[in-house]
Structure 1
Amino acid sequence: MRKCSILLLCSLVLFACSKKDSPSNGGTKPPPTTMDSVGKKGTDFSTNTANGTWYGNVTTLKSHWFYTWGTTLPFELAPSHTEFVSMFWGSGNVTDDNIAYVKARKAEGKVKYVIGFNEPDLPDQANMTADQALALWPKLESLDLPLGSPACSWPTVNWFTEFMQKAKAQGRRVDFICVHMYVGTDDQNFMQVLQTLYNTYKLPIWVTEFATCANDAKSMADNPYTPATVLSFMQRLLPQLEAAPYVQRYAWFSGDPASARLWSSALVSANGQLTDLGKWYADYKPNNNAGK
Structure 2
Amino acid sequence: MGMIILGAFALALCGGGFVGAVSLLIHFLAMRKGHGSWKHYLLISGVVTVAVGVSALAWMFGGPETAGAPTGDDYNRAIFGAALLGGRARIGAARRTAGPVQAQYTGADGSRGRSGLMRRQLVSLGFTALLLAGCSDDSPGPGPELQADAGTSVPDAGVPTTKSAKRGLAFDLATPEDMAAVAPGVSWWYNWSPTPHPGVPSDYETRYGMDFIPMLWNGNFDAARIESILRANPRIQYLLLLNEPNLTDQANMSPQAAAELWPRYEQVARNTGVKLVGPAMNWGTMAGYGDPVVWLDAFYAAYRAANDNRDPHIDYLGFHWYDYGLEYHLDRLTKYGKPFWVTEFANCHSQPDGAQIDSVAKQRVQMTEMVAVCERRQDVFRYAWFTGRWTNDPCFASLLGAAGTLTELGEHYLSLPAGAPEAGSAP
TM-score norm. by structure 2 comes to: 0.49
Contact in 2 for aligned 1:99/1:139 (Cα 8 Å): no
Q: Which ranges in structure 2 are unaligned for 5 or more consecutive residues?
A: 1-163, 284-290, 419-427
> Residues 85-100 of structure 1 correspond to what in structure 2 (within 5 A)?
85-100=213-228
Contact in 2 for aligned 1:46/1:54 (Cα 8 Å): no
Residue 87 of structure 1 and its aligned partner are, at CA, apart by: 0.8
- Cα RMSD for the two superposed structures: 2.7
Name the residue aligned to 1:232: 365
SS at 1:265's partner residue?
A: coil
CA 1:78–1:58 in 2, change beyond 3 Å: closer, same or farther? farther
> Residues 205-284 of structure 1 correspond to what in structure 2 (within 5 A)?
205-215=340-350, 224-254=357-387, 256-259=389-392, 261-262=394-395, 264-284=396-416
CA 1:245–1:122 in 2, change beyond 3 Å: closer, same or farther? same
Q: Does 1:71 align with 2:203?
A: no
Residue 79 of structure 1 and its aligned partner are, at CA, apart by: 4.2
Higher relative contact order (CA 8 A, sep 6+): 1
CA 1:119–1:48 in 2, change beyond 3 Å: closer, same or farther? farther
Q: Which ranges in structure 1 are unaligned for 5 or more consecutive residues?
A: 1-37, 218-222, 287-292
Name the residue aligned to 1:177: 317
CA 1:234–1:47 in 2, change beyond 3 Å: closer, same or farther? closer
Counterpart amino acid of residue 265 in structure 1? A
Contact in 1 for aligned 2:347/2:357 (Cα 8 Å): no
How far apart, CA to CA, are the structure 2 residues paired with 1:67 and 1:127?
Answer: 20
Contact in 1 for aligned 2:360/2:397 (Cα 8 Å): yes
SS at 1:98's partner residue?
A: helix
Name the residue aligned to 2:265: 140
CA 1:157–1:203 in 2, change beyond 3 Å: closer, same or farther? closer
SS at 1:213's partner residue?
A: coil
SS at 2:183's partner residue?
A: helix
How far apart, CA to CA, are the structure 1 residues paired with 2:351 and 2:222?
Answer: 35
> Residues 193-204 of structure 1 correspond to what in structure 2 (within 5 A)?
193-198=329-334, 200-204=335-339
Q: Whose helix fraction is larger, Structure 1's or Structure 2's? A: 2
Residue 48 of structure 1 and its aligned partner are, at CA, apart by: 5.8
Contact in 1 for aligned 2:219/2:261 (Cα 8 Å): yes
How far apart, CA to CA, are the structure 2 residues paired with 1:232 and 1:214?
Answer: 13
Residue 237 of structure 1 and its aligned partner are, at CA, apart by: 2.5
Residue 271 of structure 1 and its aligned partner are, at CA, apart by: 4.4
SS at 2:251's partner residue?
A: coil
Contact in 1 for aligned 2:374/2:380 (Cα 8 Å): yes
SS at 1:122's partner residue?
A: coil
CA 1:122–1:94 in 2, change beyond 3 Å: closer, same or farther? farther
SS at 1:206's partner residue?
A: strand
Contact in 2 for aligned 1:181/1:209 (Cα 8 Å): yes
> Residues 25-64 of structure 1 correspond to what in structure 2 (within 5 A)?
39-47=165-173, 55-56=179-180, 58-59=182-183, 62-64=185-187
How far apart, CA to CA, are the structure 2 residues paired with 1:160 and 1:48?
Answer: 34
SS at 1:119's partner residue?
A: coil
CA 1:64–1:55 in 2, change beyond 3 Å: closer, same or farther? same
User: Rg: which structure is higher?
Assistant: 2
CA 1:216–1:92 in 2, change beyond 3 Å: closer, same or farther? farther
CA 1:277–1:47 in 2, change beyond 3 Å: closer, same or farther? closer
How far apart, CA to CA, are the structure 2 residues paired with 1:156 and 1:79?
Answer: 34
Residue 258 of structure 1 and its aligned partner are, at CA, apart by: 3.5
SS at 2:345's partner residue?
A: strand
Counterpart amino acid of residue 249 in structure 2? D
Residue 115 of structure 1 and its aligned partner are, at CA, apart by: 1.3
TM-score norm. by structure 1 comes to: 0.70
SS at 1:250's partner residue?
A: strand
